[in-house]
Structure 1
Amino acid sequence: MSGREVERTDDGRYIVVDGRRWRATDPAIPEGRRAELTKVLMAWRREVGRTKGTDDEPAARAGVQAAKVALGERGTPWWEQTDDERRERWETDVPWPARDGGAK
């Protein structure tokens, strides 16, 4: 999150923003891969905004979902997965929106 310090629950599984609890990104993801997945997530979020109310919005929302699952923020909680399951999750290919040309 934008460089500011984020409050975490004692177990590290959640962050707290404005009093609301959100699942934290899997801390085991290698830094380079985490950064890449975060960029993909932000690109998909921009795509959701661009396609709001159109037939393309569901695909954009699916892209957000895929990125958030890869980061461990949705789907099976990362603390309930084996190391191999976690690695497989974050190594899964999450495509970039076509509008971004797949560029990283």
Structure 2
Amino acid sequence: MGDHGGMPEHTADGRYVVIDGRRWRATDPDIPEDVAARLRSLLMSARRDVGTAKRAGDAEAEQQARDRVHAAKVALGERGTPWWEQTAAQRRRRWEGVLPDA
């Protein structure tokens, strides 16, 4: 089981993390840490905005925030084409598409 206080357990191939017995795709390990931190910050902001929009009953704002969550997760390599099936250049373009100054 995962450890919410520290680094989660990874599968032997490093492609997934295991949290509470459930497997989730791991963040692309080739993303520079400063870029990954910015992407995680965008992800958390978008997740907060989903909650705010839901509480306000604003379906349009909720969808926009969910789209931002999805974009951040794709940039992190946690959704979309698996990072281990992409070239280094494709991986870089994936996160630079969200952070043009990365």
Relative contact order (alpha carbons < 8 A, sep ≥ 6): 1 or 2 greater? 1
The 5 A counterparts of 1:14-93 are 14-52=16-54, 53-55=57-59, 56-93=61-98
Identity of aligned residues (%): 61
- How many positions carry a matched residue from both structures? 94
Within 2, Cα distance between the matches of 1:24 and 1:39? 17
Runs of 4+, deviation exceeding 2 Å: none
Q: What's the CA shift for 1:92?
A: 1.1
RMSD: 1.5
User: Residue deviations 1:56-104, cap 9 Å, x none?
Assistant: 111110000000000000000000001100000011125xxxxxxxxxx
Unaligned 5+ segments in structure 2 are none
The structural deviation recorded for 1:3 is 5.4
TM-score (norm 2): 0.87
* Unaligned 5+ runs, structure 1: 95-104
Matched residues in 1 for 2:28 and 2:10: separation?
Answer: 13
